[in-house]
Amino acid sequence: MRNRTACELRAAFAQQMAATYGREVPAYNTLVDVAAEVNASVLARDGASAERLGSIGRVTAERHGAIRVGSPAELRDVARIFGALGMHPVGFYDLRDAARSAVPVISTAFRPTDPDELARNPFRMFTSMLVTDDRRFFSAELQARLEAFLSQRVLFPAELITLSNKAIAARGLDDDDAGRFLKLATDAFALSAEPVDRAWYAELEAVSAVAADIGGVSSTHINHLTPRVLDIDELYRRMSAHGVAMIDSVQGPPRWAGPDVLLRQTSFRALAEQRLFRAADGSVAPGSLRVRFGEVEARGIALTPAGRDRYDAMMAEVDWVLASSPDASRTDVAAEVWTRDLPSSELGLLRDGLGFFTYSVADRSAAAPGADPAALVEAGALTATPIVYEDFLPRSAAGIFQSNLSTETTWDAEQRGTRRDAAWLSDVLGQSVADPVDLYALQQRASLDAALACLAR
Ligand code: OOG
Ligand code: NI
């Protein structure tokens, strides 16, 4: 029997998830169509430079999903399922105070860590977990009931976890197991028809809509599936022209004349979806919930820690300017700050050590001995290709969460939050959560070492 590799399983899962989500949220199909139109126009307009940050084939196939779970045990199961697909936890994001208004979750992203694997199938899953013992959100009494509720529900059938473990051990599955695994995995993230306990949901919603979405129901579901687009401002305009209500802005870096860096994201507003509700008297009646939205993103160059500090400082500067002149447009202020504070070319980012690049040899005869990488690139001896940012941004993530909530989070700022960090998460998962910066730095180092060794030969 044929063996299906983790990469093939990942590609099949991404496709089945898209089919399910597209059936459930038809506006997603519009988003994908518009993204494809925009990508085709950018390609026609810019030619080869449109593919500077990834081939059109890769960009078109690229997706990230978002899911939310309630407990460490549930997160461990998620890690097995995505482990079977060759996806590993990368990055730790604390969204509890990443933005003006708080979301009671911490997150990581499951994704391939090997650049070749990412190129073969670029699928990731942004995964959030409720922090039930954070007193700023949950009283001891509510925490106890919430944890009791979470501990008795089963999000993932035992057979799915058994097959996941088998796939991890064998680095793939035979056809029969693969079919079964993919069905169980896709079903686990489909919207459930199980009635929602109205009173319990409402009680959690009074604290946080995200807490209700996670802990107020007996199943989980995919929240969104995000395609990648080459011009997010154009996509925003075209979606609005299609009559789709978008959130107020694009999160992350502004549109500006220099190179795209990190990640820009926007979304269409969460739609009302039909769900069944169970009342206190046991009767079941239809109603609706607004929790799922459609997100889209544009990716740019991965920044080094120095570049990331620069980014954070520029974002803070924009906030500061806007605080004193609230009528100014964020887009204009941001573009001004960026033009002043960030090099306007890839070479500038490289020279200042702000961006990550891979290197290859272009012309050995142009190499001056002892020159640094930037000088070797300028002399034409080396070619530098930007490394694309494959991860997420906590402030943007919190902003995306927030702009899709219709109720404010109630929280008690006097209380101390529970400590959570990448080490805590690694302990929970029994595997280390990779630091994105380490992955980019390693990739850069390996290519530079190989290129320098070739020049020295
Ligand atoms: C996740 C929100 C953040 C992103 O891409 O940063 C996010 C969620 O809504 O579960 O999707
Ligand atoms: Ni997302």
Q: How far is the CA of 265 from the centre of ligand 1 (A)?
A: 10
**Given its phi and psi angles, is residue 249 left (phi above 0), alpha (psi -120 to 50 degrees) or beta?**
beta
Residue 102 lies in a domain: yes
Kindly give the distance from the C-alpha atom of residue 30 to the centroid of ligand 1, in angstroms, as a whole number: 20
Average pLDDT, the chain: 94
Q: Is residue 100 over pLDDT 70? A: no
In a domain, residue 81? The reply is: yes
**Residues 357-383: tens digit of each pLDDT:** 999 999 999 988 888 999 999 999 999
User: Is residue 38 assigned to a domain?
Assistant: yes
> Which tens digit of pLDDT belongs to each residue from 113-153?
999 999 999 999 999 999 999 999 999 999 999 999 999 99
- Sequence letter at residue 143: Q
Q: Is 396 in the pocket of ligand 1 (CB under 6 A)?
A: yes
**Band of the pLDDT at 278, cuts 50, 70, 90?**
very high
Q: What is the pTM of this model?
A: 0.96
How does 138-176 read in b/e, with b if 16+ C-beta sit within 10 Å?
beeebbeebbebbeeeebbeeebbebbeebbeeebbeee
Q: Is 96 exposed, middle or buried (0-12, 13-18, 19+ CB in 10 A)?
A: buried
Ligand 1 pocket, 126 CB below 6 A? yes
**Residue 66 · residue 128 · CB < 8 Å:** yes
> Which tokens in the block code for residue 444?
């850069």
Q: State which of 21, 126, 225, 265 you would mutate to test the pocket of ligand 1, scoring each by most atoms of that ligand within 8 A of its C-beta.
A: 126
Residue type at 13 in one-letter notation: F
C-alpha 209/C-alpha 201 separation (Å) is: 9
Task: Give the chain's domain count.
Answer: 1
From atom 4 of ligand 1, which residue's Cα is the shortest distance away? Answer: 397
Is 207 a member of any domain? yes
Q: What is the CATH number of the domain that holds 32?
A: 3.10.180.80
- Is 99 contained in some domain? yes
In a domain, 173, yes or no: yes
- Residue at 258 is within a domain: no
- Which residue range forms the structural domain that includes residue 62? 3-231+409-420
Residue 183, CB half-sphere, CA atoms under 13 Å: how many?
7
- Whether 75 is covered by a domain: the verdict is yes
Neighbours of ion ligand 2 (CB under 5 A): 66, 126, 226, 295
